[in-house]
Structure 1
Amino acid sequence: MTGPLRVLISADMEGIAGIVHPTETNPERYDYERGRRLMTAEVNAAIAGVLDAEPDAAVRVADAHGSFRNLLPEELDRRARLVRGKPRPMGMLGGLGLPTFSDAGGSDDASGSGEEGGVVLFVGYHARAGAGPAVLAHTMSDTVLDVRINGRSLGEIGLNAAVAGHHGAPAVLLSGDDAACAELNALVPAALTVPVKFALGQAAAETIHPEEARENLRAGAAVAVARRAQVPPFTLTGPLQVEVDIYSPTTVDLAVLVPGVSRAPGARTVTFTAEDMPQAYSLIQLLVQLGTIKPA
């Protein structure tokens, strides 16, 4: 018996309509509360679109910005489950691969595609560092400047799409600025993208109205889920040679204490070999967390 479609919505904040400045994404700044309301509303639009196409879908939402505690639980569509808080397995894809809901039936993994498998949607995503003009572009937090896997530079979009792809789940949709949309389409040409603003610089954009963004996102999510069989998972076959450019020399010093991590020529780059994308992703997450440790 075929169970319901499993859907993971990974929600970031920099790519939400109307948001262009760090004050709108930082919990310690005055504009943050408005930013998180805008973020929650866009996620609700994506949930509604998924369920328009697949009323019985089992939907999880991974809060994937900063602290992973941005979405307002009491305002989130109650038909979805929320994964929030950190650190956690799978990082921005928290919930991928967890047992499905107790009342949802089906198998206990998120692998596969089509009727029996899972799909991933990226809401509010930003482009990688160096992709400009792009709104609030960066690679991973303010710690990691660049990640190259087998020589290919990847930001959060590529890394998360590859982890999902390892589990057989295609990234069928992305919303964000035009640079973020182009980044996913370069990796997954068949994916549907919903541009909600058009970058003029790192902290400037021409943005559509938030209500229009939600309408477009709801419609796009429904189409993306309905045509999921046409979107192949983005996969990277191991072993993977990983290079990570790190902002702080102190973080580099800490990173090379991790078994298997070596310092490359130059002040900022460390390297390691991973068996597959989940292993690479876990170690990259660790390097990001090491960046929060200040010199003694």
Structure 2
Amino acid sequence: MKVLVFSDMEGASGINTYEQVIKEFGEPFEEGRRLLMGDINAAIVGLSEAGATDFVVADSHRRGSPPNVVDDKLQQNATVIRGDDISRYDYSGLAAQVLVGFHSKAGTESGFLSHTMSSLLGFAVRVNGRWAGEGELEIWKAGRFDVPTIMAAGDSALASEIKSFFSDIPTVAVKASESRTQVHCLDPKDTQDEIRKTAAHALNSLASFKVNIVREPINLVIAFKSEELTDWAAKMPRVKRIHKRAISYEAKDWEEARAAYHTAYHLAFRVVDPATARLGDDERVKEMRKELVRKMIRERWALPLEPLPNIP
């Protein structure tokens, strides 16, 4: 029996600062990787106890570049996928999916490091009238392939968010979020044991889970933190500019909707990316690149939360 362990990072046990999820901060990131591995391995052990034999681990934070998952520290028979391999992954043959290390969606004031796909862009996605986060997007993607999501682990804001969308999916709150930059972490030994037990119980109860899918056709609203970023996303075909910071798109099915919000994301990222890309790959500028990224991240999380656009 094969299970997909879809991992992010901000919602992992013990992680309490953005420095632990960004490689450019050095040693704190290595500690963050160690903490993330504890959660992933706890899920794998619990799933193994319930009969799973094969595991695919999606290293999704920053698309796994640089790697967050430490491949040689994984328990059991696990394969790691990163980057485009995650987008192209064939879900056929999976019994279930679990989410580990996830955070709440953009606009969540009480969510630790809350964002959707990119804090630098202030990116946000509304699906059929509800603002959704990365957890919901991955649950719907798996559902499109008839794969149920049977557990989600992250901070308390993420747990509440998942329950508000999918009341049947069990959650593990590994820390109590107080704001976007403040969180009270529980003992990782305790939370990882809870992840293990919850994963085992969920897989043992697999027959009771339903597959969660989106009602089609799909109305998308895609928002950004600034008008300039939205200008770039508005270059997409078939979009409507409905707000100075938002566009809308009508998709016939989930595949088209997912392609649309990824395209909008990449178009807008052209504004941010040159700040690092123009430095080139010369060895002499590697530290300059790191410092620029650190500066961008520090400034971003020091800013107040932009309210999501008020769109009927």
| Cα distance, 1:88 vs structure 2 | 4.4
Matches within 5 A, 1:1-296: 5-30=1-26, 31-56=28-53, 58-68=54-64, 69-84=67-82, 86-88=83-85, 90=87, 95-97=89-91, 109-110=92-93, 118-142=95-119, 143-264=121-242, 266-294=243-271
Question: Corresponding residue for 1:114?
Answer: none
1:159 and 1:223 map into 2 onto residues whose CA distance is 24
Specify every segment of 5 or more residues in structure 2 that has no aligned partner in the other structure, as ranges: 275-312
Letter in 2 for 1:223: H
Decide which structure has greater helix share. Answer: 2
Structure 1 length normalisation: TM-score? 0.85
1:54 and 1:89 map into 2 onto residues whose CA distance is 24
2:63 and 2:213 map into 1 onto residues whose CA distance is 27
1:223 and 1:95 map into 2 onto residues whose CA distance is 26
| Cα distance, 1:53 vs structure 2 | 0.3
Identity across matched positions, percent: 28
- Rate the CA distance shift 1:203–1:144 in 2: closer, same or farther, 3 A: closer
| Cα distance, 1:52 vs structure 2 | 0.8
2:57 and 2:193 map into 1 onto residues whose CA distance is 19
1:228 and 1:131 map into 2 onto residues whose CA distance is 31
Render the CA deviation track for 1:217-274: whole Å, top value 9, x for unaligned.
Answer: 111111111112212122112111111012243332222222222322x211111111
Contact 1:190 1:230 (C-alpha < 8 Å) held by counterparts: no
| Cα distance, 1:140 vs structure 2 | 2.0
1:55 and 1:179 map into 2 onto residues whose CA distance is 29
Letter in 2 for 1:81: T
| Cα distance, 1:77 vs structure 2 | 2.0
Specify every segment of 5 or more residues in structure 1 that has no aligned partner in the other structure, as ranges: 98-108, 111-116
Letter in 2 for 1:292: F
1:14 and 1:249 map into 2 onto residues whose CA distance is 27
User: Aligned-pair RMSD on alpha carbons?
Assistant: 1.9
Structure 2 length normalisation: TM-score? 0.81
Letter in 1 for 2:174: V
1:125 and 1:160 map into 2 onto residues whose CA distance is 11
Contact 1:62 1:95 (C-alpha < 8 Å) held by counterparts: no
Letter in 2 for 1:234: N
- Rate the CA distance shift 1:96–1:7 in 2: closer, same or farther, 3 A: farther
Contact 1:132 1:179 (C-alpha < 8 Å) held by counterparts: no
- Rate the CA distance shift 1:89–1:261 in 2: closer, same or farther, 3 A: farther
